[in-house]
Amino acid sequence: MDDAAVIAALRARDERVFEELMRMYNASLLRVAQIYVASRAVAEEVVQETWIGVLNGIDRFEGRSSLKTWIFRILTNIAKTRGQREGRTVPFSALERPDAVPEAAVDPDRFLSPDHERWPGHWATKPEPWPEERLLATETREVLERAIEELPPVQRAVISLRDVEGWSSEETRNALGVSETNQRVLLHRARSKVRQALEGYLMEAR
Amino acid sequence: MSASIEQLSCQELVELVTDYLEGALPEAERNSFLHHIEGCTGCREYVSQMRETIALTGRLTPADLSPEAEAALLAAFRDWKSR
């Protein structure tokens, strides 16, 4: 269904389409809400309020952005207000200047020193192949889930949208209101940390 | 070990992996990236672990609203519909 069809169906009060739309976006809406509010419970409330806002606004929606972008804008506004009321503000740098604080993808100790005479900056301890048979084990999945939960909220949102939901970088950056470069920086940090967590688990338990 | 591998260290390469996978590396950097992983087993393994990480993340079940919240929303929808 394209946007026009979904909008028409919502305006016609088609419950099935509304349900489908919720199923499609709830996970991502939750992740983005969690950038601004502390608890999962409040994030759920924000998502609920968002859908009420969508219903109340759909008859007046002019389609100047995609439906998806519009829905996420409603969410972001509600989540920001809730976050402020909770006394929680997202550091400006988290979204606008993620590279302001440098972060290494790999622990610097894994590399030889930059002034090593023969191999500056080369692996001191190389990554070893992961045991294939354990990649799909339940425990590995739990390690992965925990690593994602422990990410800073903005990084968690980006990796959830891109890699769990399979959104494009453009969809992700529109939903979050970040630039292409920042989206990529955030994705890089998220993926790097998750890889590191998997490596830590898979290598130590070998 | 060739000159271009010396130009890009492993420590530098790991910071370029996402740009590489996203197709966002300028051609010259992409070439030294490719050249480096051709000759470096550690970095080749690193890139493959990043791909595995992405694939495993793609198998996760997305978070969802609680059934109560979803039911409340459907009730809200019916309420809105009857207005």
pLDDT digits (tens, 9 = 90+) for A135-151: 999 999 999 999 999 99
**CATH number where A81 lies:** 1.10.1740.10
Domain boundary (A85, A102, A136) is at A85
Based on the domain organization, do A130 and A38 belong to the same domain? no
What values do phi and psi take at B37, rounded to 5? -70, -25
Quick one: pLDDT at residue A5? 95
Is residue A206 pLDDT above 60, yes or no?
A: no
Using CB atoms, pick whichever of A47, A122, A198 lies closest to residue B65: A47
Burial class (CB in 10 A: 0-12, 13-18, 19+), A24: middle
Quick one: pLDDT at residue B4? 43
Based on the domain organization, do A117 and A174 belong to the same domain? yes
Quick one: pLDDT at residue B54? 98
Contact across the interface for B80 and A55, Cβ inside 8 Å? yes
Quick one: pLDDT at residue A82? 94
In this prediction, residues A43-47 reach a mean pLDDT of 96
B33 token code pair: 């990236």
**pTM (2 d.p.):** 0.91
Based on the domain organization, do A132 and A200 belong to the same domain? yes
What values do phi and psi take at B17, rounded to 5? -60, -45
Q: What is the ipTM of this complex?
A: 0.90
* Most A-contacting residue of B18, B40, B64 (CB-CB within 10 A), to test interface: B18
Domain boundary (A69, A85, A101) is at A85
The count of structural domains within chain B is 1
pLDDT digits (tens, 9 = 90+) for B11-60: 999 999 999 999 999 999 999 999 999 999 999 999 999 999 999 999 99
What residues have CB less than 8 Å from A190, skipping those under 6 apart? A148, A151, A155, A156, A158, A159
In this prediction, residues B63-83 reach a mean pLDDT of 91
Range of the domain at A99: 92-204
Using CB atoms, pick whichever of A18, A22, A121 lies closest to residue B10: A121
Based on the domain organization, do A98 and A81 belong to the same domain? no
In this prediction, residues A18-41 reach a mean pLDDT of 94
Is residue A205 pLDDT above 60, yes or no?
A: no
Range of the domain at B27: 3-81
**One-letter identity of residue A16:** R
The count of structural domains within chain A is 2
Cα nearest neighbour of B64 on chain A: A27
Q: How far is A148 from chain B (nearest CA, A)?
A: 9
Contact across the interface for A141 and B57, Cβ inside 8 Å? no
What residues have CB less than 8 Å from A24, skipping those under 6 apart? none
pLDDT digits (tens, 9 = 90+) for A58-110: 999 998 999 999 999 999 999 999 999 888 877 777 888 888 888 999 999 99
Residue A50 and residue A54: Cα distance in Å, rounded? 6
Residue A110 and residue A97: Cα distance in Å, rounded? 27
Q: What is the DSSP string of A68-131?
A: HHHHHHHHHHHHHHHHHHTT----HHHHH-GGGS---SS-GGGB--TT-SSSTT-BSSPPPPP-
Is residue A170 pLDDT above 90, yes or no?
A: yes
Is residue A125 pLDDT above 70, yes or no?
A: yes
Is residue A179 pLDDT above 80, yes or no?
A: yes
Using CB atoms, pick whichever of B53, B60, B70 lies closest to residue A191: B53
Place of tokens 């979050």: A176
Based on the domain organization, do A106 and A42 belong to the same domain? no
Based on the domain organization, do A142 and A71 belong to the same domain? no
Based on the domain organization, do A192 and A102 belong to the same domain? yes
Based on the domain organization, do A176 and A81 belong to the same domain? no
Based on the domain organization, do A70 and A114 belong to the same domain? no
Domain boundary (A85, A117, A134) is at A85
Based on the domain organization, do A159 and A194 belong to the same domain? yes
Based on the domain organization, do A96 and A14 belong to the same domain? no
Based on the domain organization, do A64 and A100 belong to the same domain? no
Percent of chain A residues past pLDDT 90, beyond the cut: 85
